[in-house]
A and B are shown apart, each in its own frame.
Chain A
């Protein structure tokens, strides 16, 4: 990831003056990354901090979608895990995630970029090594454990798309990302609702009133990536200039709200590094 970041940063430097055709940026970055890989590994390792780029965005999102596809596929295949009444819900979400993955895969292929190999997913957190500690117990045998993980991955999905939206320059891809971003949010709200109906203390949106999903320390990266920072009540107008909520959410104008609602009203993005740490737990 870091290497690719660096490479396409370099590739992007000689900017093309003429208006680029659709997908040209991604294509340029992708091809440059392929061409430069053998050299890059040794020569350029620590030259610059990793930067989020279109190529990184698409590859990370592909990993996210593939993770969700794998979770729902394994969940639907696990006997007795998902109640019959909700089978259709997960089939629908699986279909959506499969469609998203296909779009991202095609974007990489059209760009002539490296398509990452489909990893082997292990939702126990053991990285397919039986002697490793189990970080996510009973995901495929306990419906509550399955839902908790599904919720966190859907929340993570909303946040990763959010992180990348404004670096996407291709109008078609931008539009698709915005529309998928909203679908991920609907998925998350639904799974949160399912958990709520089963007695979990959780809202349809990330809230400080949600009961924490307790994980071993080594699995904390997922919780951080899924909801870390959602409790913030600070939003910015320009860098360093916060929105003065206290000046316009007032009892005198009938616009007072209950405290947690301010943070709930804004879904936060996640940085690519934090997201990658979480996604790496399952491969």
Chain B
């Protein structure tokens, strides 16, 4: 069927070309648990405030940051798949399936980069990206939410990619390959919500370059959705 049928899980459920699962709210949100005695690459709640999450310093912190952006998007897209608004067309639903799948790949790949063993728990069990502030019962509301998150992540990548200190070109290349897909998502969703609004002056400056956001700006924008958790990016590299 394709190049990827080596993936056993996909073969198991050959219910047609597309294979996906319903994700319960719990499993979508609680990505992992904090392990006691965790390594420096895991988030640690401070004793003073269990809802304060400080991202690790250095490249692991940058990966965590990218992971959280992906988590926000997969949570939204999964919800849209599970409960699509009635006025979202079949073609648009198909786009959301692709958006969800791409972001699952990104999220899980980044997770693997953070924790190749797959057994450590990256975030507290009750950590979640809350969708309650979005209107997900209408096509317009869903597209507006998707545009907000896709634009935000697209704006984050060009900064993020300059902050890595790793000498590992393949690792940075993986994120570079994700960054243009992220920009494609933003344009696709923008055009669905407002035809012709791709790369417009809201997101591209007068030099023809994408307007960017620093990790601090991105986390500030996402903060209302991660409450009660508060994420600190103080340990991350600062763009010059």
Residue ranges of A at the interface with B (Cβ–Cβ < 8 Å)? 85-86, 88-89, 92-93, 95-100, 103, 158, 162, 165-166, 171, 174-176, 178-190, 193, 203-205, 208, 231-233, 235-239, 243-269
Contact = CB atoms under 8 A, between A and B. Distances in A.
A182 B180 contact: yes
Contact of A190 (B23, B104, B180, B199): B199
A249 B162 contact: no
B109 interface: yes
B111 to A, nearest CB: 7
B33 interface: no
B187 interface: yes
A239 B173 CA distance: 12
Interface residues of B, number: 76
A166 B169 contact: yes
Interface stretch (B1-9, B58-66, B121-129, B133-141): B1-9
A158 B176 CA distance: 11
Contact of A251 (B19, B118, B170, B171): B19
B200 interface: yes
Given A181-B179, A190-B191, A264 B102 contact: yes
B106 A265 contact: yes
Nearest to A207: B98
Interface string B157-199: 1100110000011111110111111111111100100001011
B7 A237 contact: no
14 contacts: A97-B208, A176-B209, A181-B180, A183-B210, A186-B154, A243-B174, A246-B9, A248-B108, A249-B7, A255-B104, A257-B105, A266-B105, A266-B177, A269-B177
B101 A265 contact: yes
B210 A256 contact: no
B27 interface: yes
A267 B162 contact: no
Nearest to A97: B208
Nearest to B211: A179
Given A96-B208, A259-B2, A252 B184 contact: no
A253 B208 CA distance: 41
B177 A258 contact: no
The majority secondary structure among interface residues of chain A is helix
A257 B198 contact: no
Given A162-B176, A183-B183, A259 B4 contact: yes
Given A248-B111, A251-B13, A259-B5, A182 B178 contact: no
B240 A171 contact: yes
Contact of B10 (A89, A174, A180, A259): A259
A167 to B, nearest CB: 10
Contacts of A181: 158, 176, 179-180, 183
Contact of A266 (B4, B178, B191): B178
Given A189-B198, A205-B102, A208-B3, 19 more contacts: A103-B207, A166-B173, A178-B158, A185-B181, A186-B184, A186-B186, A187-B199, A188-B184, A208-B2, A243-B174, A244-B112, A245-B105, A250-B9, A251-B12, A252-B9, A257-B19, A259-B3, A265-B101, A267-B184
A97 B157 CA distance: 21
Interface string B11-41: 0110001111111100110000000000000
B209 A239 contact: no
Contacts of A263: 3-4
